[in-house]
Every structure is written in structure tokens, then in C-alpha cells.
Amino acid sequence: MLSSQLKEKVEDYEKLEVEVDQKLKEQEQKLEEVNSTKIQLEDANRIEEVVKIWQNAKEENCERLEEDISSLRNEVDKLNKNLKISSLLEDILSSQRSLYDKTCLGYVGETSYKKYASLKLPKI
């Protein structure tokens, strides 16, 4: 009887040993999974940092380009104003009469000169 109890205890012990070995293997696998997950998380964090750096650089670049666009628009506006003024000046100059065209001013050539030549103007 003692021997049968001992055999049972040995069998129970062996079963427990097998179960412990299985549990230990499961724990090792889980530990490996956790370590693998940690490594993946660290990689993801590094990638996230790099992406943030790139994003900041892109945002700075966009801001600089927006400033350039704004300054270029201001220059274009100034050039457009100058162009309008130039075209207005060209219109005025093109519609101006010749220096020698004295019609409608009361000038009739040599006779007009003789008429006013007889007037005595005070000397200053």
C-alpha cells in the first residue's frame, strides 16, 4: 500500500513536473513576445521621432515659402502699380501735342508776333 501511494505520488510529481515545464516554456515564449514587442515599440518610437523632425522641417519650409510668396505678391503689386503709372504716362505723352503745334493758342505766325511786339512790357 505504501508502495502504491508512493507510486501515485511519484506519478503526481512527474505530472506536476511536466506541467511546470510546459508553464515555464509558455512563460519563456511570453517573455520573448514581450521583448519582441518592446523592440517593436522602441523602433516605432524612433520612427515617430524621425517623422516629427521631418514634419517640423517641412512646416518650417512651408512657412518660409509662404513668406516668399507674400513678398513676391507685394513685389508684383508694386510692379503692377508702376506698370499702370507707366501706361498712364505713356497715354498722356502720346496724346500731347507737338511743341511746334500752336493752333488754338491764338498764334497765327509772324503777324501775331508783330501785333504783340508793339506792346511795351515793363522791365524787371
Is position 123 within any domain?
Answer: no
Q: What pLDDT, on a 0 to 100 scale, did the predictor assign at position 123?
A: 59
Q: Give the Cβ contact number of residue 102 at 10 Å.
A: 13
Is position 122 within any domain?
Answer: no
Domain encompassing residue 15: 2-94
Q: What pLDDT, on a 0 to 100 scale, did the predictor assign at position 86?
A: 87
Q: What confidence category does residue 7 fall into, taking pLDDT thresholds of 50, 70 and 90? A: confident
Q: What confidence category does residue 40 fall into, taking pLDDT thresholds of 50, 70 and 90? A: very high
Is position 106 within any domain?
Answer: no
User: How many domains in the chain?
Assistant: 1
CA-based torsion, 94, 98, 101, 107: positive or negative: positive
| Residue 65: its H or E element | helix 2-95
